[in-house]
Amino acid sequence: MAAEQGKVDPMHQFTIEPLVRWEVAGYDLSFTNSAMWMLVTTLVVALFVAGGLKRQLVPGRWQMAVEVFTGFIDDMLEANIGKEGRKYVPYVFSLFMFILFANLLGLLPLGVVGLHPFTFTSHFTVTGVLALISFSIVLIVGFWKHGFHFFSLFVPHGTPAPMIPIIFLIELFSFLIRPFSLALRLFVAMMAGHVLLKVLSGFVINGANAGIGIGALVSIPSFALMIAISALEILVAGIQAYVFALLTSLYINDAEHLH
């Protein structure tokens, strides 16, 4: 949060700042706040999964939580892909948990202790890379399993011969736009919520600085709305992780079965 003369810049929270500057052959390879929170998220996911690998006969809460998430992803892949979907559980589970924890860690109120979490899923470059990884898997699976017959995915069964070139181009464009829409959905959802919270925090600060009367009229309702939106953002964090994993499984299904 950047405050100057009582003002809050809602976009400052998305600024990528170098923590350790490092340049190699003219390329800036600095370790940034975004990279740090990616590392933190990776470690949290690893610790969460490691804590659930005890394989106790009577599972504890931690182990049960990991098993619930794993079973959830396994059921989703089996429903969308079939038995072939089981081999994608490690990737989709890791993707889901990484996005989920990234979204949730970015909502932690650590600013009260001077530590400002960075929600890197609010950057299109990050969500774009995640989408491209999923899209690459789709392409690899499609061409590996079907060869050039994979292009039949862009010509629905029963398409009249004269319409094939037009339908092929439309379907191809729709297919190629998938990584963009996949990345954009997560990026917009996370960015919009954080901007709204920062705008409301500005109302709270400015209302409090304006005096008791304005503070009661502006700051208190704004703070109450912040609490409600924060609860909604927790829900959105989970939904967006699920949607990203779900769409990834549907795209993989197309590569597996050419539907």
* Boundaries of every domain in the chain: 2-257
Rg (CA), the chain: 23
DSSP state of 25: T
Could you tell me the mean pLDDT of each successive run of 10 residues in the chain, 259 residues long?
57 86 82 94 94 73 89 95 92 97 90 79 95 96 92 86 90 94 95 90 80 76 90 95 97 89
Q: Cα(100)–Cα(41) distance, rounded to whole angstroms?
A: 9
Which residue from 183, 188, 179, 133 is spatially nearest to 14, judged by alpha carbons? 188
Query: 107 near 117, Cβ under 8 Å?
Result: yes
C-alpha distances (whole Å) from 83 to each of 76, 77, 139, 144, 201 are 11, 8, 20, 18, 49
Q: What is the pLDDT of residue 254?
A: 92
Q: Cα(67)–Cα(65) distance, rounded to whole angstroms?
A: 5
